Amino acid sequence: MTESQRPSGEYPMYPSYGNGDAAYPPPPSYAPVQPVAMGPGTTVWPAPGAADGHAGGAGHGGEGPHGLPQAAPEPPASRRRVRRPVALLAAVAIAAAIVGGGTATVIGQLTDHGTASTAGGIIPGTTVSQSNKGTVSGVAAALAPTIVEIGATSTAGESTGSGVVITSDGEIVTNNHVIAGATSIKVTLSTGRTHTADVLGTDADKDLALIKLQGASGLKTAPLGDSSKVAVGDEVVAIGSPEGLTGTVTSGIVSALDRDVTVAKESDSGQGQSQDGQGGGQQWPFEFGGRQFNGDTGDSTTTYKAIQTDASLNPGNSGGALINMNGEIIGINSAMYSASSASASGGSSAGSVGLGFAIPVNTLKADLDTLRAGDSS
């Protein structure tokens, strides 16, 4: 046996640095192993599991197999040290979960088409719509099938203008000056199919006319918007048949509202039929601010409030559509300014310089019943 240099049964104690539970260092979480006196001047350490005062090891008074005393076990590692790596791993796991969750949220926002989660206080990102709504190409694709080319023949010649389909059975809105005095009217759809049209009603004071195709059905129609909601700076699209180029699309903004535009009041004599013609006739004359443009408006005129736009309008756009970015008709194109319109030769003049005018669609909607009733002015 190994002799101990300490008195039998004694065990060194830690000094106290505080009071009660606040003593430092704190007491271990397990009872310290006590030596066992085997005889005078001799002690041995009990086997593992004997710290609670009961037999450990083999269960016979601290003895192991064959009754031999067990070597003193190494004290277990402090629980404080065990908790630190566990806490660190937990923190890393939580951080990974947050990053992973944030990534999933962002991806979800980009693929859910507007369904964004705000769980966990995450700020939702901006989603990108997959629709073409709000683009020039989207508006053109949606509305181009509702815009037609109108060819009117009269004793004065032929003219070309545009029109907007408003009913599936072939009601079409256009300018009065496009069809005034016409003896026959041919309408070409966006598909290339041609129909003969009859005049239902005209309103020379508002420069509006309503015609109807013969034998038409199932046509795509243009939605009529609300021109009272139009604001300066709004983006717009114009579709028409300038110089006979069917389905031409231009775009711009609303430049001004409530322009007092004065135009010639067409009669049934057929005069001025070539004003929107392909054969080199002068452009549709109008007056603004006491000045006349694109020719003499004559003695018989009418004035209306117009939407001004810088979307390019040219001869043949008359009667076509001015459209907002929601794909709604907000005006019927009716007049445009050309810098070289006062040509003495009467030949074809230059194109648009960004001064175009359209009759507000609310003016049309207020006049539709009168036009359908066949009243003319």
What's the DSSP call for residue 54? S
Asked whether 193 and 162 are in contact (CB, 8 A), the reply is no
Which tokens in the block code for residue 183?
A: 């003896």
* Per annotation, catalytic residue among 318, 334, 338, 349: 318
Residue 349 Ramachandran class (φ > 0 left, ψ -120 to 50 alpha, else beta): beta
Rounded-to-integer distance, Cα 108 and Cα 339, Å: 54
* Per annotation, catalytic residue among 159, 162, 195, 207: 207
Q: 11: which strand partners?
A: none
Asked if the bond preceding 25 is cis, omega within 30° of 0, the reply is yes
**318: annotated active-site residue:** yes
Rounded-to-integer distance, Cα 155 and Cα 169, Å: 29
Asked whether 327 and 223 are in contact (CB, 8 A), the reply is yes
Reduced to 3 states (helix: H, G, I; strand: E, B; else coil), residue 141 is: helix
Rounded-to-integer distance, Cα 273 and Cα 139, Å: 31
Rounded-to-integer distance, Cα 367 and Cα 352, Å: 29
Task: Find the largest Cα–Cα distance for the chain.
Answer: 145
Rounded-to-integer distance, Cα 136 and Cα 327, Å: 9
What's the DSSP call for residue 103? H
Asked whether 197 and 212 are in contact (CB, 8 A), the reply is yes
Which tokens in the block code for residue 94?
A: 């939580």
Closest CA to 323 of 334, 337, 311: 311
**177: annotated active-site residue:** yes
* Per annotation, catalytic residue among 154, 159, 162, 177: 177
**296: annotated active-site residue:** no
Which tokens in the block code for residue 219?
A: 């046509």
Residues recognised as catalytic: 177, 207, 318
